[in-house]
Structure 1
Amino acid sequence: MSDFLVEPHDLVSLRQLWYWLVIVEEGSVTAAARRLSISQPALSQHLRALERSMGGPLVERLPRGVQLTPLGRAIQADARDVLAAAGRLDRQAHQAKALETGSLEIATLPSLVDTTLLEPLRRWHREHPGTSIRLHEFPLADLLVKGVAGGTADFAISTRPAKWSGPVVHLGWDQFMVMLPPGDPLSQRPGPVALADLAEHDWVLYEPANGLADYVTIACAQAGFRPRAAVLTSQVQAAAQLAAAGLGPALVPSHNVPPELADSARPLDPPVIWELTAFARMTLLPAAAAFIRLVSAQTWAERPVGAIVLPGVG
């Protein structure tokens, strides 16, 4: 048996250690009994039992209270460490149980729900049927950041926040594709498309209430123009369909390109990408970390050389 393990009958009571430390903090058995809401004789009995286990008195009774004995001073720090470790063990057990029961609240962008999160959600439901998931969908990434900072969700799956004091986990890079309308001359050329070559086109753009609108504006500005709208939509799936219907080019994250329209999607030159991350206000609990592992386990593209990285938010 390991040196640091002892037989159960040699273990002291955590409750008795706690009672003793409260007596030391309060300075008297009477005050400690009042704080603990137990009778003074019962508290004294617990103290005597602990002292028998320790092999000697832990406090000296004085007319105005108690003070630590040399033995008490010698074990006080270790007693606090033992109680702190017991508290951590209890929290870890409850957090681990959250993998099987309870709920997980995730803040995210609507464009990620039926793409990036779809398979992880399916796997989570299969592997942890007792834990439900509630999605908080924010149309704008800056609103999402503010929501997570205010405690709306346990964590977020979104673009990297520009300023964040809590944990941030890199998930991967997603490229933007341009959906070309049928018959566009650029669709006849092989290889990536330069955004600048689309400056004179009428575009399928996103409503300002959709955060992708800002990213499209930034990407086009990098190419030296401001896109002119043929039609505005609030849905990324609709943007792809409208482009395929001939209303103009549209920028769509690669994960949102419908499989049936893959032939209409072309990469950009230089590539335009955004970073997807998971982030939380405080330390990620086991349930959150387990879900994030499912998301990061998916296939992610490498960061292209010379890519334009769209900025974070918040």
Structure 2
Amino acid sequence: MTTLRQLEYLVTVVDTGSFTRAAELLHVSQPALSHQVRVLERDAGGPLLERLARAVRPTPMGRAILPHARAALADAERARTAARRAVGLDGGEIQVAAVYSVTLGIMLPVLRTWHENHPQVRVRLMEFPHTDALLAAMTAGRADLAVGPRPGQWEGTVTELGEEEFVLAVPAGDPAPDRVRLTDLADRSWVHYAPGNGLAEVVDQACAAAGFRPRAAVRTEQTAAAPLLAATGLGPALVPESVVPAGFAGRVLRPEPPVRRMLAAYTRPHPDPLTTAFLDTLARHAAEGRA
């Protein structure tokens, strides 16, 4: 089934003449963009774009569908404008609670897209080091929506966003293979997390499953500091892949078996239109990331 998002992708690729530039403008990865265009071409029954050495241009079938795609996008924008005015999405404030690693990962493109689409809506972002504190904030009514590990019990709406992948950060010259068993690192000192950080439990549980208890060389309360400390040689650090900075000075290893945890967004039983709109944006970005 053709979606407005796919039509937007097609129009943007044609207008820019490039998958790379279109992906930058749309704030999506190029593989996700290409995948959605292929799905659209499959639904249309043939190729819509001709991929040349230095440019991309529409095929005859693509040129035929372009006016209809532009018209559908214009109609959708007019409908969104009317809906915003009706339910107050052109103003107000939404309170979003998240654990630290989520803020550094999935929330960045979501907040950027939200601000572009709803510039008059303020976002109050509250960050928590532990799932229990996140859940307590939601229970107390301090936030409209929470993003973090899936709660064990929750009476409201829970939307799974996908699994958060963990990697091992080590110094650049570390001799360990790219894929390594945690048990092979059991005799090392580790960069660990302070007890108040929920990732301390993730590390302890993963190491316990491998048959050992990690010996901490240093403990940090800041999730983003763990890979940087590991790169200095203090010890390996098990970190969410999303917190590894661009241009990381160390190496990133994949643990075997993989270490993952399910992330979810959850709201109260009857979320207001602002919260529902933010949740839709979050879920769409999560789905595109998985694609």
Counterpart amino acid of 2:182? L
Task: Give ranges in structure 1 of 5+ residues lacking alignment.
Answer: 1-92, 303-314
Q: Which residue of 248, 260, 264 corresponds with 2:247?
A: 260
Question: Secondary structure in 2 aligned to 1:232?
Answer: strand
Residue 113 of structure 1 and its aligned partner are, at CA, apart by: 1.5
Which residue is 1:137 aligned to? 127
For residues 175-205 of structure 1, the C-alpha deviation after alignment (integer angstroms, 9 at most, x for no partner) is: 100112233221xx3x421111111110000
Whether contact under 8 Å (1:173, 1:301) holds in the other structure is no
- Greater C-alpha Rg: 1
Residue 122 of structure 1 and its aligned partner are, at CA, apart by: 1.1
Verify: 1:105 aligned to 2:92, yes or no: no
Which residue is 2:74 aligned to? none
For residues 281-306 of structure 1, the C-alpha deviation after alignment (integer angstroms, 9 at most, x for no partner) is: 2123322222222222334348xxxx
1:98 and 1:192, CA in 2 relative to 1: closer, same or farther beyond 3 A? Answer: farther
1:95 and 1:255, CA in 2 relative to 1: closer, same or farther beyond 3 A? Answer: farther
Whether contact under 8 Å (2:144, 2:267) holds in the other structure is yes
**Which segments of structure 1 move beyond 4 Å, counting only runs of 4 or more?**
93-96
Q: CA RMSD in A?
A: 2.0
Distance 2:86 2:218 in 1: 49
1:218 and 1:108, CA in 2 relative to 1: closer, same or farther beyond 3 A? Answer: same
Question: Secondary structure in 2 aligned to 1:162?
Answer: coil
Residue 115 of structure 1 and its aligned partner are, at CA, apart by: 2.1
Which residue is 1:217 aligned to? 204
Which residue is 1:175 aligned to? 165
For residues 142-169 of structure 1, the C-alpha deviation after alignment (integer angstroms, 9 at most, x for no partner) is: 1111210121111101110011121100
Query: Aligned runs of 1:158-197 on 2, under 5 Å?
Result: 158-186=148-176, 189=177, 191-197=178-184
1:96 and 1:246, CA in 2 relative to 1: closer, same or farther beyond 3 A? Answer: farther
Residue 133 of structure 1 and its aligned partner are, at CA, apart by: 0.5
Q: Percentage identity across aligned positions?
A: 43
Question: Secondary structure in 1 aligned to 2:119?
Answer: coil
Distance 1:116 1:95 in 2: 28
Whether contact under 8 Å (1:95, 1:287) holds in the other structure is no
Distance 2:159 2:119 in 1: 25
Question: Secondary structure in 2 aligned to 1:230?
Answer: strand
Q: Which residue of 256, 266, 269 corresponds with 1:279?
A: 266
Whether contact under 8 Å (1:108, 1:157) holds in the other structure is yes
Question: Secondary structure in 2 aligned to 1:260?
Answer: coil
Which residue is 1:204 aligned to? 191
Distance 1:98 1:144 in 2: 27
Whether contact under 8 Å (2:231, 2:249) holds in the other structure is no
Distance 1:242 1:95 in 2: 49
Which residue is 2:289 aligned to? 300
Question: Secondary structure in 1 aligned to 2:124?
Answer: strand
Which residue is 2:224 aligned to? 237
Question: Secondary structure in 1 aligned to 2:167?
Answer: strand
Whether contact under 8 Å (2:156, 2:268) holds in the other structure is yes
1:228 and 1:301, CA in 2 relative to 1: closer, same or farther beyond 3 A? Answer: farther
Residue 278 of structure 1 and its aligned partner are, at CA, apart by: 0.5
Counterpart amino acid of 1:169? T
Which residue is 1:246 aligned to? 233
Question: Secondary structure in 1 aligned to 2:180?
Answer: coil
Whether contact under 8 Å (2:165, 2:259) holds in the other structure is yes
Normalising to structure 2: TM-score of the pair? 0.67
Task: Give ranges in structure 2 of 5+ residues lacking alignment.
Answer: 1-82
For residues 2-24 of structure 1, the C-alpha deviation after alignment (integer angstroms, 9 at most, x for no partner) is: xxxxxxxxxxxxxxxxxxxxxxx
Q: Which residue of 148, 151, 160 corresponds with 2:141?
A: 151
Distance 2:197 2:120 in 1: 33
